[in-house]
Amino acid sequence: MFRRVFAALAVLFVAAQPLPAMASVLQCVPYAREVSGIEIQGNARTWWGQAEGRYDRGSQPKVGAVLAFRPSRAMPLGHVAVVGEIVDDRHVMLNHANWSGPGKIDRHALAEDVSEAGDWSEVRVWYGPIGKLGLRSNATFGFIYNDAPSAPATLDTPSINFAAAFADLIPASETKVVVPTLALASLR
């Protein structure tokens, strides 16, 4: 009987432990880099400046372009999202990670230009937990386009297999935790 109780407690102890550090959640930057092909490193807040001279930038959406969000109190590291579809002059569909929840990937998420000038400098973005556009407007730098006017013809970095590159990252929307249950009768 002592062995059964000890074994049951050991199983519960192991099940209650947090996931290993290497099983982190997917962030917006590696997701946007892989989906867009734009090879910029570092936090999202630095992408706009790093793109200068390497990639064309502008204020009009194009499919495959990265929308670079300015840092804010709610997003101190900024945010990046990839344009998947242009709906009209004021609406696009974005693909991005870590917006509606830690590690969650949002595909085909509506973004609306709410800037007075119609230049995409302020947007509202679909927020999954409430099932509609978020209430907060978000300042942006603009769009980074996947054409590299001053980039070298060949890159020093090898191409990355998306599945292999993010094998240790667990999207929150797909994370499943299985907690073993024990019948009380087995402890007697």
pLDDT digits (tens, 9 = 90+) for 40-61: 999 999 999 999 999 999 999 9
Q: Mean pLDDT score of the chain, rounded to an integer?
A: 79
Q: How many domains does the chain have?
A: 1
Pairing of strands 66-69, 57-58: unpaired
pLDDT at 60: 98
Q: Residue 101's domain spans which residues? A: 20-187
Residue 129 lies in a domain: yes
Confidence band for 3, pLDDT divided at 50, 70 and 90 = low
* Proportion of the chain above pLDDT 70, given as a percent: 66
Residue 9 lies in a domain: no
Residue 135 lies in a domain: yes
pLDDT digits (tens, 9 = 90+) for 110-165: 999 999 999 999 999 999 999 999 999 999 999 999 975 544 434 443 444 444 44
Maximum CA extent, the chain: 74
Residue 15 lies in a domain: no
Q: Is the pLDDT of residue 20 over 50?
A: no
Q: What's the CATH code of the domain at 135?
A: 3.90.1720.10
- For residues 122 and 187, the model is more confident at 122
